[in-house]
Amino acid sequence: MRTFVLNLIVHRLLIAGLTLLIVSFAVFFATAMLPGDTASILLGQAATPEAVAGLRAAMHLDEPAVFRFFRWLAGLAQGDLGTSYVNNVAVADLIGGRFVNTMRLAGITTLIAVPVALTLGITSAMFRGSIYDRIVTILTIGVISVPEFMIATSAVLVFSVYLKWLPALSFANEVTSFWQVLKVYAMPVITLAFVVSAQMIRMTRAAVIDTINTPYVEAALLKGASPPRAVLYHALPNAVGPIANAIALSLSYLVGGVIIVETIFNYPGVAKLMVDGVSTRDLPLIQSCAIIFCIGYLALITLADIVAILANPRLR
């Protein structure tokens, strides 16, 4: 049985590796097809054709895209993210500090969103059909229906423009005290936590309700167990796998949501760096940032699959 479980885990890891390879192919060629010529953009309109051709040759842009893709893929395998076209600096150096900022933003959001979402999702399933459940359901559906840029814009209007409590822009390098931490991260975290928590509450509630409807939980209720006890001691341990998937799928939204949030609040993270790279057509920078987000997404989904396998009592 252990061999079977190990084979399932290895199979999930192989699928994640194959998916990453396909995604890297899509990222490279999608960025390669961006309109405009990189050499012409970097040299400006006054550049001569000879200078443009020389720069293209120096950056290997005159080679077929397939050759450039395999050269880039080989560099990724060795940990070499390439050199920025605009700054002539290693992409790894540009991403280094920004990556820490993005992980800090994602970490604070996770620490707030996960406990709140699990508490509301589990208690909502525990008291299914009650007024409390209906209020939580209406609020979560309302938050899910509103795009994150709308939540971010509303937060800026309320807390920055009208109340003047928080700054409209977030500069992570200005953090020297706890109060400044609140000022810098309050609105980005609120925006991300709202959307992530809403998705997680709905998925957690559905996972717990599915487990509550199983025969062994119904038997516990018939034997006199209270609904909270039946949920916490009988249903919840067997809902670990679905809840882990709910957490992973909801947190994976941070990959896309952080791009919008960092752009709106001018937060110095990897997503903002990638958006700046698109404006200057810095292909190595764009490709590296996109791959980092893809790796984060795949890591969350693969980890959720592994947790679901290990939490399944029939497989154990």
Q: pLDDT band at residue 226, thresholds of 50, 70 and 90?
A: confident
Pairwise pLDDT comparison (183 vs 285), residue with the higher score: 285
Q: CA-CA distance, 279 to 34, in Å (whole number)? A: 11
Q: CA-CA distance, 32 to 85, in Å (whole number)? A: 14
* pLDDT tens column, 243-252: 877 788 777 7
Pairwise pLDDT comparison (246 vs 121), residue with the higher score: 121
Q: pLDDT band at residue 306, thresholds of 50, 70 and 90?
A: confident
Q: CA-CA distance, 264 to 156, in Å (whole number)? A: 9
Instruction: Compute φ and ψ for 90, nearest 5 degrees.
Output: -60, 135
Q: CA-CA distance, 77 to 75, in Å (whole number)? A: 5
* pLDDT tens column, 171-197: 665 566 667 677 777 888 888 888 788
Quick one: pLDDT at residue 166? 75
From residue 114, alpha-carbon distances to 44, 111, 137, 201, 234 in Å are 48, 6, 17, 9, 22
Q: pLDDT band at residue 260, thresholds of 50, 70 and 90?
A: confident
Instruction: Compute φ and ψ for 45, nearest 5 degrees.
Output: -70, -25
Its CATH class, for the domain covering 82-311, is mainly alpha
Q: Is the pLDDT of residue 37 over 70?
A: no
Q: CA-CA distance, 55 to 143, in Å (whole number)? A: 49
Quick one: pLDDT at residue 289? 86
Mean pLDDT, the chain, rounded, equals 79
**Which candidate, 257, 122, 110, places its Cα nearest to that of 201?**
122
Q: What are the boundaries of each domain within the chain? A: 16-80, 82-311
Q: CA-CA distance, 310 to 316, in Å (whole number)? A: 7
Q: Which of 6-10, 62-66, 119-123 has the lowest mean pLDDT?
A: 62-66
Quick one: pLDDT at residue 175? 60
Structure token pair of residue 152:
């971010």
Contact between 72 and 287 (Cβ < 8 Å): yes
Residue 268: enclosing H or E segment and its boundaries? none
